[in-house]
Amino acid sequence: DTAVSQTPKYLVTQMGNDKSIKCEQNLGHDTMYWYKQDSKKFLKIMFSYNNKELIINETVPNRFSPKSPDKAHLNLHINSLELGDSAVYFCASSQNMGLAGSEQFFGPGTRLTVL
C-alpha cells in the first residue's frame, strides 16, 4: 500500500496551459504539504494544509492554487504554466504539524516539464 501517492508521475505540457497534480495519503495524517525541487535539487516548501485549512503559503505566484477537498487529499492546480515552473513537485504528509518532531512522509514526486 502506497502511503503518499501522486498522479501523474510525469507531466509534459506547453507554456500557457493549465494543469493539476493530485496527491492522496492513506496514513490518516492531519497535515499535508507541497514542495518544489528545482534542477539543483533544492527543496522549498510551497504550501501546507492542516485539517483542510491553509497554514503555510510561501511566496508562490498566485498561478499556483492548492485545493484540499478532505484531509486525505491535497491537489495542486497551476494556471498559465511558465518555463520556470519546470521542476519536481513533491507532496508530503505528517501526523500533525503541532507535534514536536513530526516526521514528514513524501510521495514519489511529479516531474513537470514545460516546453
Partner 1 sequence: AQSVTQLGSHVSVSEGALVLLRCNYSSSVPPYLFWYVQYPNQGLQLLLKYTTGATLVKGINGFEAEFKKSETSFHLTKPSAHMSDAAEYFCAVSTSGSARQLTFGSGTQLTVLP
The residue within the footprint of partner 1, chosen from 12, 15, 27, 43 (CB under 8 A), is 43
List the one residue out of 93, 94, 89, 92 whose CA is nearest residue 109: 89
Query: Which stretch of DSSP H or E encloses residue 65?
Result: strand 64-70
The reply on whether position 103 binds partner 1 by CB under 8 A is: yes
In this structure, what DSSP letter does residue 84 have?
Answer: G
C-alpha cell at 81: 504554466
Closer residue to partner 1 in complex, CB, 64/109: 109
The reply on whether position 56 binds partner 1 by CB under 8 A is: yes
Taking the alpha carbons at both ends of the chain, their separation in whole angstroms is 34
Closer residue to partner 1 in complex, CB, 14/28: 28
What are the CA-CA distances from residue 72 to residues 12, 36, 96 (Å)?
A: 26, 20, 13
Nearest approach in angstroms of CB 35 to partner 1 is: 8
Nearest approach in angstroms of CB 15 to partner 1 is: 25
Q: Which residues bind partner 1 (CB under 8 A)?
A: 4, 40-45, 48, 55-56, 90, 92, 97-98, 100-109
